[in-house]
Structure 1
């Protein structure tokens, strides 16, 4: 055990306490008892290198797999950016090792950076002048964010939009099954009624009932990751990650010039880690797009695997196609006939003067049930209502309207 002066011990405790606050703001459980354990571990371990300090604190604070990414990013930002590791090593060891090159950030950087910034702002809050603003004739930032185009958002607005997408309530409408289940009311169940009567000796007839079983349909998302769709798809993947975390029957595919199944990556608990795994798993991000080729591969390889149980399919693309119209129309028709409901989300609908004049769009529209926008939080909220059965197809979402207008 290393013997420290009261002043040195106080500096170690202060640094670890502020580090724990950063972890807590980033979403990790780091209570007072954990902070005490971390201080004792650092004192006992006799830190001699940056790696020793990292793994000592890692052993105390990290309790779940999804916490690893956040801890790694918090350690990199908090300790290395401020040079606190070298100060700690100077306290705990006679010679401090040279500072190494920082590792390339991977995931969790946004949340940890914001948590670190919030900690610094809290320390300086008392010195800031208080300014009163008359907001009588202003529009709230939340209302502006709801209608703002994803492609026009700043970094802070994108972070807020990601959080809002993850917090959306995501119910799906239920469909009636042929299978019946016991119920308090409904149709009389002769078999269960007869069994109950026989158990009672045949003198009393206690009627039993049954009704149709209701099940939420699976959800399949086909997302375009071409250059024109990259910004929208990245944000909508946060929405799909929240749905995948809540329900197991959600399947997500990305396509540009080829089709990639990223369902397993989106099942990771941490959203930043999940999206980074999606980015690493595809080779054609922000490239060209071949919708017909991707749909052909999906219909041939994945259709029978994921389109059972009357699923709802979300097709997220702008419809700007490079392949021939005959192939695209044939694959869209096959996809439409394989699912219960096909919803096309197109960010081009954000333009008031949009018209369905592109050949690819006109080839796809006859084979979709709904044609919706996907460029803002309000558009995604409308989609959630549609999926829950509260806001079905209307005149604005009817694809036949756009075919006539085009």
Structure 2
């Protein structure tokens, strides 16, 4: 942190207003800050004073931070809000993230971007004058605010057509989505009061306690168990807008309470090579998780070799993560450079190893889409369900697609179209 002195808090009644706006920014950045904590922070600052910057920082820290993962976001929001009067320029520069760097730099960058987005989403705090912006920038800002959409329109809007503010709102909507899954019927059984399977061992044990007289017949039934979810996400250049939003969705699914009904969620990215990002998605902070995943996957926004990457998955990972009826989500547009015969062979092997193979293809958003590309034509016969993944609504419909056992009508329609 910089050693420059903190501008003093105004003494003309604006202390409560500035702390309230600071708390509003923290809440938009993901911290659990309610009215009670705001009142407590104001009273704590009035009691402790704010002559020393370290005392002021730790007073607000004690009032607003309740979890370890919230410390970085609080620190960056505090620095931008209270320390630099020309913070607006710096916040705008932070909205263009970099996915390279070491772990500590990625954590700080993720917290800074969240803090900048939260502060820009509200009004400028009292007593802090932002730098004058050029006339062209003001016009651009006005155009962006004029294109803000309602929730219903935002649900069906294409990710590629969203403005930065709409993308931020869409990410908040995606964070609340869940992916329910019907459980599998296990071969293991559990004792129940009335079940279809006779439990002779427990029946005899109960009869021994009663002097050899057999009373009620003990029964059992087969247990339910959750399947694994395996995700293969294309991060090539043609999929960059969609893969980032899908990874936000997968982070929400992987970090849902009880994994949302899944036994485990395994995530892989591929472009020109396969990368396992499962451990990165397990982080609770979504920005930090995606920054770490981006640093791990060196082929981000590069070329596409779907066949070679599926071969690497089938060879190295299939037996580890595909056991016991895993459901597979394949997120790609199907535009591949590998020979179609090799791609079809790897897709068939992946399909045979999975309980259900769902292909999420953003190209389905176009009316009149037909499987004319060789890669798409090679992949299509080996999937169970085919849906679009270009909007919040299409991701929300994924749960309904997984809950039905029927095949995909869209896949059957495309298979019936003439090729060439």
Instruction: Please give the TM-score of this superposition, normalised by the length of structure 2.
Output: 0.77
* Alignment deviations for residues 29-75 of structure 1 (CA, whole Å, 9 cap, x no partner): 4413355446656648x348xxx865675566434232133213312
Structure 2 match to 1:393? 407
Is the CA contact (8 Å cut-off) linking 1:224 and 1:233 kept in structure 2? yes
Q: Would the alpha carbon gap of residues 375 and 392 (structure 1) be closer, same or farther in structure 2, given more than 3 Å must change?
A: farther
Is the CA contact (8 Å cut-off) linking 1:16 and 1:38 kept in structure 2? no
1:141 to 150, 156, 161: 150
The answer to whether the aligner puts 1:258 opposite 2:261 as a matched pair is no
Structure 1 match to 2:199? 189
Q: Would the alpha carbon gap of residues 41 and 262 (structure 1) be closer, same or farther in structure 2, given more than 3 Å must change?
A: farther
Q: State the distance in 1 between where 2:413 and 2:177 align.
A: 29
Q: CA RMSD in A?
A: 3.0
Structure 2 match to 1:87? none
Q: State the distance in 2 between where 1:143 and 1:293 align.
A: 40
- Which runs of no fewer than 5 residues in structure 1 stay unpaired? 85-102, 124-139
The answer to whether the aligner puts 1:211 opposite 2:221 as a matched pair is yes
Residues 112-191 of structure 1: matches in 2 within 5 Å? 112-117=115-120, 119-120=122-123, 141-187=150-196, 188-191=198-201
Mean Cα deviation higher: 14-23 or 184-193? 14-23
* Alignment deviations for residues 376-401 of structure 1 (CA, whole Å, 9 cap, x no partner): 122112211122x14743422x3x43
Q: Would the alpha carbon gap of residues 40 and 292 (structure 1) be closer, same or farther in structure 2, given more than 3 Å must change?
A: farther
Structure 2 match to 1:298? 313
Structure 2 match to 1:33? 40
Q: CA deviation at 1:11?
A: 6.2
Q: State the distance in 1 between where 2:335 and 2:375 align.
A: 6
Q: Would the alpha carbon gap of residues 294 and 204 (structure 1) be closer, same or farther in structure 2, given more than 3 Å must change?
A: same
The answer to whether the aligner puts 1:376 opposite 2:376 as a matched pair is no
Q: Would the alpha carbon gap of residues 380 and 29 (structure 1) be closer, same or farther in structure 2, given more than 3 Å must change?
A: closer
Mean Cα deviation higher: 175-184 or 65-74? 65-74
1:66 to 64, 69, 78: 69
- Which runs of no fewer than 5 residues in structure 2 stay unpaired? 1-7, 88-104, 127-148
Is the CA contact (8 Å cut-off) linking 2:50 and 2:56 kept in structure 1? no
Q: State the distance in 2 between where 1:6 and 1:402 align.
A: 65
Q: Would the alpha carbon gap of residues 327 and 169 (structure 1) be closer, same or farther in structure 2, given more than 3 Å must change?
A: same
The answer to whether the aligner puts 1:276 opposite 2:291 as a matched pair is yes
Structure 1 match to 2:374? 359
Structure 2 match to 1:199? 209
Is the CA contact (8 Å cut-off) linking 1:313 and 1:342 kept in structure 2? yes
* Alignment deviations for residues 234-278 of structure 1 (CA, whole Å, 9 cap, x no partner): 001111011100216001101111111111111111112211221
Instruction: Please give the TM-score of this superposition, normalised by the length of structure 1.
Output: 0.79
